[in-house]
Amino acid sequence: PSLVVLEKDKEIGRFVNRDRKSKQQINDFLAGLK
């Protein structure tokens, strides 16, 4: 599964791998975007 983050219709981040993502992995990824 992939996670794509958009801000004002522009892609600002993409987290792609084959593994299931944990809540912690997603939180860490989102924190790294700011």
What was the pLDDT predicted at 34? Answer: 76
Which DSSP string do the residues of 13-26 spell out, in sequence order? Answer: EEEE-SSPPPHHHH
- Amino acid code (one letter) for 4: V
The span from the CA of 25 to the CA of 2, in Å, is 12
- pLDDT tens-place string over residues 1-34: 899 999 999 999 999 999 999 999 999 999 999 7
The span from the CA of 1 to the CA of 20, in Å, is 7
The span from the CA of 7 to the CA of 21, in Å, is 21
Question: Domain locations in the chain?
Answer: 2-33
What was the pLDDT predicted at 25? Answer: 96
Tokens 């987290």 map to which residue?
15
